[in-house]
Amino acid sequence: MRIGVVEDDDGVADALIDALAAHRIPAQRMVRGRDLLTRHPEFDLVLLDLGLPDMDGIEVLRSLRQVSAVPVIILTARDDERSVVRGLRNGADDYLVKPARMTELLARIEAIRRRASRARQTTTSTRQFGDLTIDLAARSLSLAGQPLTLTTKEFDLLAALVDNPGAAVSRQQLMDQVWGDAFVSVSKSLDVHMTALRAKLGRPARIETIRGFGYRWIG
Ligand code: CA
């Protein structure tokens, strides 16, 4: 498990990272909220301060939740009820007030880790849509029994879409999942790969375009 610590206070950050290291949990520090928005795929869990130099932690969390479900524990000096509720409503998995007791923080990290591993165990890697079979773990697929070859990016795009059949997936989310950066323009690449993917899948209508937003997997 790799933990991302978003904290602008050097003393607090050092103490946290040392304490986690003492429990053999590798952690990396970021100072700005913006850093988390580009580096989040590196982490399995994030500890997020709210008072950050470039943007408010709640805004960071909102932007993060558009593209990622990585577990987030807010760790902040703000102990008023309104802040706690706003944090949880905007997608935090847990909320701790500084100075947090290390044993309590570790217990909460462990609880989130258990939930995540249970969720992983209940998902299988094969998806069937009519004559199309997709094995997400093996990264292979076949159409009417014939194997199909996709490029890495095409497969990643397909995987991101079929993960949520019937649900609208934003262009931003796809760019983030496939290119690792939703906040830099890779829009053209997305269009090119989407066209190629649709052509290979036999029926372009398997992927519906939602104008001004993104795409939806029809299957
Ligand atoms: Ca701070």
Q: Is it the case that residue 152 has pLDDT exceeding 70?
A: yes
Output the CA 50–ligand 1 centroid distance in Å. Answer: 6
Give the pLDDT of residue 29: 98
- Name the pTM for this structure: 0.63
| Cα 216 to chain centroid, rounded | 18
Highest mean pLDDT range out of 46-60, 162-176, 195-209?
A: 46-60
Q: How confident is the model at residue 205 (pLDDT cuts 50, 70, 90)?
A: confident
Output the CA 199–ligand 1 centroid distance in Å. Answer: 49
Where is the domain boundary, 58, 87, 122? 122
Q: How confident is the model at residue 121 (pLDDT cuts 50, 70, 90)?
A: low
Output the CA 56–ligand 1 centroid distance in Å. Answer: 9
Provide the number of structural domains found in the chain: 2
Give the pLDDT of residue 120: 65
Give the pLDDT of residue 183: 63
For residue 99, whether the previous peptide bond is cis, meaning omega lies within 30 degrees of 0, is yes
Output the CA 198–ligand 1 centroid distance in Å. Answer: 46
Percent of the chain with pLDDT over 70: 95
CATH number at 21 reads 3.40.50.2300
Output the CA 24–ligand 1 centroid distance in Å. Answer: 25
Instruction: Tell me the average pLDDT across 64-79.
Output: 92
Instruction: Tell me the average pLDDT across 115-120.
Output: 73
User: Are 159 and 130 part of one and the same domain?
Assistant: yes
User: Are 98 and 169 part of one and the same domain?
Assistant: no
Would the CA dihedral through 179, 60, 116, 76 be positive or negative? positive
Domain carrying residue 7? 3-122
